Amino acid sequence: MRLDVVSIFPDYFAPLHLSLVGKAIASGRVDLAVHDLRSWTHDRHHTTDDTPYGGGAGMVMKPEPWGEALDALEQASDLPMTIVVPTPAGQPFTQALAYELATRPRLVFACGRYEGIDQRVIDYATDTYEVIEVSLGDYVLNGGEVAVLAITEAVVRLLPGVIGNPDSLLEESHSEGNEQLLEYPNYTKPPIWRGREVPEVLLSGNHAVIARWRQEQATARTRARRPDLLGE
Ligand code: ADE
């Protein structure tokens, strides 16, 4: 999979070279290119924003650098581009969307700052490419960069061959086929820590009983924390 990220803060993406995503990049499974939007500006101050038409607080990202960025990225590869625009006004990012993005050959992340990107950039891109505006949740970040880190990690770990034991994808919260329950609590050794014991059932060796206990725990947790997932 090819990933391009366009941002005025390319340094945000150094952590992508760590851990599992870093390994996927090092092995060639993922081809990551981070681009500084300012490289597509032509004035002395490398200006990427301006005041909003109609007035109001904040700044809006200018369309020209974004247009040049999209043209340059299109030229750089024959793979069809899916443009992902993180914005609090986007569709909620879910595990289902992560699975969908994982099927695309090339994701281009367009990181807005300030009050966002001039809408004409989004409209223009929508005429030419697949564009998905995505929100990480109902809160406001200062820009799309942190959202891209989260989306990238959620997507790359789903690519075939990236996670050593694919069974671990099956049981976790929100995984495909497990959409309605949060994950049950997990324990490891030692059996007693600071006076707290591991639930006895987990030491029983009875897999059927353990599976039932985990199901009950997952259901109780989901009811307490996310009743919406149970339709309650
Ligand atoms: N940019 C700013 N806030 C955001 C959010 N909640 N999700 C995705 N991108 C954002």
The domain ranges of the chain are: 2-156, 180-230
- Name the fold adopted by 180-230: Trp Operon Repressor; Chain A (1.10.1270)
pLDDT in tens, 157-201: 999 999 988 787 877 777 766 568 999 999 999 999 999 999 999
Within 6 A (CB) of ligand 1 lie: 86-88, 135-137, 139-141, 143-144, 147
* Longest pairwise C-alpha distance within the chain: 70
Question: Ligand 1 pocket test: which of 5, 9, 12, 87 has the largest number of ligand atoms within 8 Å of its C-beta?
Answer: 87
pLDDT in tens, 7-24: 999 999 999 999 999 999
In order of 60, 102, 230, the CA distances from 218 in angstroms are: 44, 27, 11
CATH code, residues 2-156: 3.40.1280.10
Identical fold, 2-156 and 180-230? no
Any idea which of 76-90, 93-107, 161-175, 194-208 has the lowest mean pLDDT? 161-175
What is the 129 CA–ligand 1 centroid distance (Å)? Answer: 21
Segment 110-127 shows an average pLDDT of: 96
